[in-house]
Amino acid sequence: LWQFWGEAVLLSLCALVGGMMLAELLLPVFGNLVGANLSFVLDGVSLGVLVGLALLVGLAAGSYPALALSRFDPVEVLKGRLRIGGTSLWGRGLVVVQFVVSIFLVISAMVMLQQLRFIQARDLGFNEEQVVVVNMRGFASIGPTAGGHVALRNSFLQHANVMDAAMVRWPLERFGKGGVRFGDGREIEGRTYYVGYNFLKTLEMNLVSGRDFLREMETDIGGSVIVNRMLASRMGEGDAVGKMLEIRGESRQVIGVVEDFAFQSLHHQIQPAALVLPPTLRDGRENGRNLLVRIKTENIPETLAYMEKKWYEIAPSGYVFRYSFFDEDIEQFYRKEHRWGTIITYASLFAIFIACLGAFGLISLAVNRRTKEIGIRKVLGASIPNITTLLSGEFFRLMVAANVLAWPLAYWSMDYWLQDFAYRIDLGVGELVLGGALTLLLVMVTVSFQAIKAALSNPVDALRYE
């Protein structure tokens, strides 16, 4: 008994040391995945808990084989006639649990990555690529006579790689919220965005009908509005251009209709939205919190260096040049999903590895238990494929049982996760079948390797009695 316990405890302590070393190496990587600064602090209490846990696991792992083997006749053990009835069922149950976890994680990772690709491929109603968002916060202290905003924008436009630029009053993830009243008295909830001239051109938004805001049209300030297709459809039949609506107490005429756009996360439904010019333009102040600058793909570092140089020439002292790329800002909406997708992917790979180890151990026990049977079958003419199928068939049945358990669990979990998205993929049987088939393939390759090795063995060695 003491020999089994001693070996099990020693292995458990060695595993503890290896696990601590592995944790020290991988903790920074995991910290980057979850977006947190993690550190491995090992004090006396923590070390005592870990050592105690390792001892407990070692004693528990060594107890069953020690007690079981102590009941058998040494002669029978040496002859290879050892049989432990419950081991097979218990081992199968543990392996099925490992398979269920592996299949669940594989399906979850596939669905998460597929949903993220779906979001990234969806048309947002504008082109977010190659758009630099310059943070103008604090720049409003420059008076209209200084013309800081206009001067900065015009200086950017002088560079050959700058295609267009437009001011926005607030960052685009923020918006004015309130009622939109139509001419017939109906009122709906809508979003209002205060934008500058050339906004549509800068973001390459598709104008379905009508026109853009024009500098020479003074009535566009406070009197005109561009609506998205969803808001236009709520206004009734016919072309929305020319119709009147009331936004925040101001009566405005629709001069243009654009495709529906999503400046926010696709966790939310696209809402009726209106684009208006800010009222500060009446005083000649073309300012805003952000300046959107569309640049060419050539020589991006040189273009950014030019913009930074012009910033410090025009901006008041103390204002730092800060910018971001619009497409990266949009990706931040799904940062949590990207992290979870990566974590689940790594977890599924690790779970498959553990499941394959369990399957390998179980097939090794099965081969050892049926060594003489395999030898007799080979003597009677059984082929290598016959024996391989005999040994692998049991694991195929275990995988089928694991899929029956894992598929409903994965479907319900992923369907619940997808409910957080207003625009989502349709979760069907294909993802479940593919996840189960992938896990089945990897496990069966592991099992078949050991089964083929047993099938190729010499039957004389299996039947020899010593």
Question: In this predicted model, what pLDDT tens digit does every residue of 284-317 receive, in sequence order?
Answer: 667 678 899 999 998 999 999 999 999 988 887 7
**13 within a domain of the structure (yes/no):** yes
**78 within a domain of the structure (yes/no):** no
- In order of 195, 203, 261, 273, 464, the CA distances from 268 in angstroms are 22, 21, 12, 14, 72
Measured CA angle at 61 (ends 60, 66), to 5 deg = 95
Task: Give CA–CA dist 383/374, Å, rounded.
Answer: 10
Quote the tokens at residue 198: 């050339």
Q: How would residue 146 be classed by pLDDT, with cut points 50, 70 and 90?
A: very low
293 and 160 in one domain? yes
275 and 310 in one domain? yes
Q: Which amino acid is at 158?
A: Q
Element (H, E) at 68: helix 44-69
168 and 59 in one domain? no
145 and 232 in one domain? yes
229 and 205 in one domain? yes
305 and 275 in one domain? yes
Task: Give CA–CA dist 39/353, Å, rounded.
Answer: 26
Task: Give CA–CA dist 12/3, Å, rounded.
Answer: 14
Task: Give CA–CA dist 105/345, Å, rounded.
Answer: 7
Task: Give CA–CA dist 361/239, Å, rounded.
Answer: 71
Task: Give CA–CA dist 156/298, Å, rounded.
Answer: 16
**384 within a domain of the structure (yes/no):** yes
Instruction: Identify the pLDDT of residue 285.
Output: 67
Q: Which amino acid is at 124?
A: L
- Main-chain phi, psi angles of 336, to 5 degrees: -60, -45
343 and 461 in one domain? yes
Instruction: Identify the pLDDT of residue 159.
Output: 94
Domain that holds residue 48: 1-71
**113 within a domain of the structure (yes/no):** yes
**329 within a domain of the structure (yes/no):** no
**130 within a domain of the structure (yes/no):** no
102 and 46 in one domain? no
- Burial of 126-148, coded b for 16+ CB within 10 Å and e otherwise, reads bbbebbbbbbbeebeebeeeebb
283 and 350 in one domain? no
Indicate the average pLDDT of the chain: 82
- Main-chain phi, psi angles of 232, to 5 degrees: -65, -35
Instruction: Identify the pLDDT of residue 185.
Output: 77
**464 within a domain of the structure (yes/no):** yes
- In order of 92, 146, 170, 285, 310, the CA distances from 315 in angstroms are 71, 11, 19, 16, 8
Instruction: Identify the pLDDT of residue 13.
Output: 87
pLDDT per position as a tens digit, 149-207: 788 888 999 999 999 999 887 767 766 677 788 877 788 888 888 898 999 999 999 99
310 and 161 in one domain? yes
> In the predicted model, is pLDDT for residue 466 greater than 80?
no
**134 within a domain of the structure (yes/no):** no
Task: Give CA–CA dist 249/272, Å, rounded.
Answer: 17
Task: Give CA–CA dist 282/271, Å, rounded.
Answer: 28
Domain boundary among 318, 352, 383: 318
Of 22-31, 132-141, 432-441, which has the strongest mean pLDDT? 432-441
Task: Give CA–CA dist 5/62, Å, rounded.
Answer: 5
Note if the pTM is more than 0.85. no
Q: Per residue, what are the HEC states of 302-343?
A: HHHHHHHHHHHHHCCCCCCCCEEEHHHHHHHHHHHHHHHHHH
Task: Give CA–CA dist 336/104, Å, rounded.
Answer: 20
pLDDT per position as a tens digit, 384-430: 788 778 777 878 888 899 999 999 999 999 999 999 898 999 988 88
The predicted model gives 86-95 an average pLDDT of 68
- Main-chain phi, psi angles of 459, to 5 degrees: -60, -25
Cβ-based neighbours of 159, under 8 Å, separated by 6 or more: 303, 306, 307
Domains held by the chain: number: 3
314 and 194 in one domain? yes
Domain boundary among 318, 349, 375: 318
145 and 27 in one domain? no
Rg of the chain over all Cα atoms, to the nearest angstrom: 34
Q: How would residue 74 be classed by pLDDT, with cut points 50, 70 and 90?
A: low
Domain boundary among 289, 318, 347: 318
